[in-house]
Amino acid sequence: MDLVELMRKELVRRHYSPKTVDSYVFCVRKFLLWCKANDKDKEPRRITKQDIKDYLAWLCEKGVAASTLNLHQQALKFALLSVLNKKFFVNLPFSKVPAKLPEVLTQEEVVKLFKAIDNPKHSLIVRLMYSSGLRVSELVRLRVRDLELEKGFGWVRKGKGAKDRVFLLASGIKQELSEFIQNNGLGAQDWVFRGRFGHLTTRTVYEVVKQASVKAGLSKRVHPHTLRHSFATHLIENGYDVIRVQSLLGHNSVDTTMVYVHMASPELLGVASPYDSLCENYL
């Protein structure tokens, strides 16, 4: 069995998320292809510290982001340290990722995005992401049984970090979700948003958001996570305290959530679901 498959099995055994498994496999395969192309095609156990440094330097020359560089290094570290038991890797320093504030839409821009979507299913997907602050990977894996429509919340099962958490269901979207489920004949075990082969793909959602932002004429670079950033910022503006927002977002540290405090407009007060207040003011 080759290094990639050994690593995959070990990642699965340790309950890493499918997304992490796929990312690590991609990175290690890319490294092995680089080795082959640069006359370093050798037995994995003979890989040296200099090989790793040369590969990371090559990535730097290609202009990859520091976060991408660190992902490759984490993947290689896991493969060599956890699978091959090569301990030299732990001494390599990681690249510093420059801190930057996330892109956030104003409420007016969110409304423009909503109005640019004609497909009812796509519209519901985008509005649910904004109203609940869901990650795109969490949204596509929602099952009907995860929604407590009468109680106004839903469950993310084994989200980021393999944690379950509760998410908010806005009053203005519960009835629409209920009708969508009934009209599509969905049962408790069914995916809420089905694709051709199982649940909807994250790529499809990315395309929906991208096309809507272009049609809406938004100058900002908008992707599904922009809706999550906007949800968090608008919650802070609506008066939610940072601890409650941290819980809704599923952040391990309140420091991660604090960035939205700095981005919120201080003049907006009152506590309301951002989607519901947006409906009252704009829709």
The yes-or-no verdict on residue 29 having pLDDT over 60 is yes
The pLDDT, as a whole number, for residue 93 is 62
pTM for the model stands at 0.60
The token duo for 13 is: 């055994």
Q: What pLDDT digit, counting tens, does each position of 61-105 carry?
A: 787 777 788 889 889 988 888 888 877 654 556 656 555 567 888
CATH of 3-91, one of 2.60.120.10, 3.40.50.10490, 1.10.150.130, 1.10.10.10: 1.10.150.130
The residues, ordered by sequence, that sit 6+ positions from 119 with a Cβ below 8 Å of its Cβ are 208
223 is annotated as an active-site residue:
no
Distances (CA, A) of 184 to 115, 126, 143: 23, 18, 13
3-91 shares its CATH topology with 107-282: no
130 is catalytic: no
How do residues 237-260 score in pLDDT, each as one tens digit? 766 655 565 556 665 554 554 544
> Would you call 49 a catalytic residue per the annotation?
no
Task: List the chain domain ranges.
Answer: 3-91, 107-282
Choice among 130, 141, 251, 275 that is catalytic: 251
CA atoms of 174 and 93, how far apart (whole Å):
48
The CATH architecture of the domain made up of 107-282 is: Orthogonal Bundle (1.10)
| Residue 225 falls in the annotated catalytic set | yes
Query: How far, in Å, are 131, 205, 209 from residue 106 at the CA level?
Result: 14, 21, 16
**Catalytic site residue from 121, 160, 210, 244:** 160
Spatial contact of 204 and 195, defined as CB atoms under 8 Å apart: yes
pLDDT at 263 over 50: no
Catalytic hit among 135, 141, 174, 234: 135
**Nearest to 232, CA basis, from 102, 144, 145:** 102
- Whether residue 122 lies in the annotated active site: no
Q: Is 135 in the active site?
A: yes
